[in-house]
Structure 1
Amino acid sequence: MQRQTNTKEKIKDVFIKLINEKGFDSISVSDITRSANINRGTFYLHYLDKYDLLEKLEDELINEITNILIDETSIYDLENNSPFEYDVVLKMLNYAKKEFSFIAAIASEKGDPQFPSKFKKLLHLQITTKFGDLTKKLTPLVAGLSVDYNIEIMLAAPAAIILLWINNGGKDSPEKIAKLIVDGTRISPYDIVY
């Protein structure tokens, strides 16, 4: 079992390196096996192809982040005025920091162009899970429009901040980014400018 884990970690490390060097589209299974110093049969014991490898690694990442975001002990507090609680966001960012090399690779132009939208869906799940029935009670910001626009406004800034943090190399501390996200959902753009 430990040997299998080591092989999968080796494949993952090489995969990240190759995405950064060549881009996902240019990578072949041969590139991966050659760089990982394993034979193709060993690769195929774990993955069907490079797409399966990407999907399984992303699914693992998404499942872990989902578990953090929908933590049972974290209930939305109306007095907080934010769908994102500091402790939950911080825990997610600390996990992202641990998996930063993979996240940065797939979030880059050379990685998976679908990753930002997959990530945004996770944040959407956070809002709908935390608010629960409250989303059904939202009033559209503009008469005649769906409340989906309200939810999109709540999602846009946190998603953009996290992706910017990733693209900037995660230089700022998770604590500062978590505070920015939580505080940012409580204030209007007008408050930022003036």
Structure 2
Amino acid sequence: MVQRRNTRTEGAIKEAFITLTNAKGFDAMTVSDLAREAHINRGTFYTHYTDKFDLRQQLLANAMSDLTQIMLSPGSAPLHQQTSGPEGQLIPYMALLGGLRYIKNDFAFFDAISHSGNDMQLYNRTKDITTELLLIEAEKVGKKPGRDDIPSVYAREMLAASLTAVIWLWLKRGCEESPETIATIIDRGRTLAPADLLS
């Protein structure tokens, strides 16, 4: 488990990471660049992170921890909003919406850490969270992914990959639509047969 820190210095380092990733790319940035951009000295940087790779890994781990907590513990939903999908749907609407709102609110970071949607590490971590959520919700309703003609490993992949792909496309497009719009698109898409998605 990554120990969470929430200091002003680490916030400045995170902002420096975002700025430099966008300006020159992760490979080209140095610890000196990060320290200069964050207005700290190198020694201060090293009290928090061992190097730029440790920084990136901790930032990603913290974001994934937050996203996991939000999506697996969505909390109480307003009474006027849907709290779960229709019967047979596994991912509660508010869990999905909470995750999308988190990504939208910290878009600059998610865009930088994913290299504008071209780094699959974030995609894979997001899919892992989605798979875990599917399994938890399936257990609640007494079902498990898979059928006699579709082994569970493939059923899980189809369910998790389709959902993650929509979120990933939204991120690559700059999170143009609102989280509510994407949540509704996903929710609606789950009720349609594949042929019905084609106009």
Could you tell me the TM-score, scaled by structure 2's length? Answer: 0.84
User: Structure 1 residue 89: deviation in Å?
Assistant: 1.0
2:26 paired with 1:24: yes
Q: Which shifted more, 60-69 or 184-193?
A: 184-193
Query: Which range moves more in the overlay, 105-114 or 9-18?
Result: 105-114
The alignment's C-alpha RMSD in Å is: 2.3
Matched, 1:126 2:133: yes
Question: 1:103 matched to which residue of 2?
Answer: 110
Number of aligned residue pairs: 186
Match of 2:188 in 1: 183
Distance 1:51 1:112, change over 3 A: farther
Q: Cα deviation per residue 1:15-52 (whole Å; 9 max; x = unaligned)? A: 01111122212221111112212111000111111111
1:83 matched residue in structure 2: 90
Higher relative contact order (CA 8 A, sep 6+): 1
**Are residues 1:160 and 2:168 paired?**
no
- The unaligned stretches of length 5 or more in structure 1 are none
Percent of aligned positions with the same letter in both sequences?
34
- Aligned residue for 2:7? 5
- Structure 1 residues 43 and 78, CA, compared in 2 at 3 Å: closer, same or farther? closer
The Cα shift of 1:81 comes to 2.5
Distance 1:163 1:72 in 2: 20
- Alpha-carbon separation, structure 1, partners of 2:28 and 2:117: 9
Counterparts of 1:110 and 1:134, CA distance in 2: 33
1:105-142: CA deviation from partner (whole Å, max 9, x where unpaired): 11225874411111111111111111125226x31444
Q: Distance in 1 between matches of 2:93 and 2:69?
A: 16
Query: Aligned equivalents of 1:68 and 1:46: distance in 2?
Result: 26
User: SS of the counterpart of 1:116?
Assistant: helix
Indicate which of 43, 46, 49 corresponds to 2:48.
Answer: 46
For 2:72, the equivalent position in structure 1 comes to 70
Question: What amino acid is aligned across from residue 156 of structure 1 in structure 2?
Answer: A
Deviations 1:57-105 (A, max 9, x none): 111111111111211758x968433222221111111111111110111
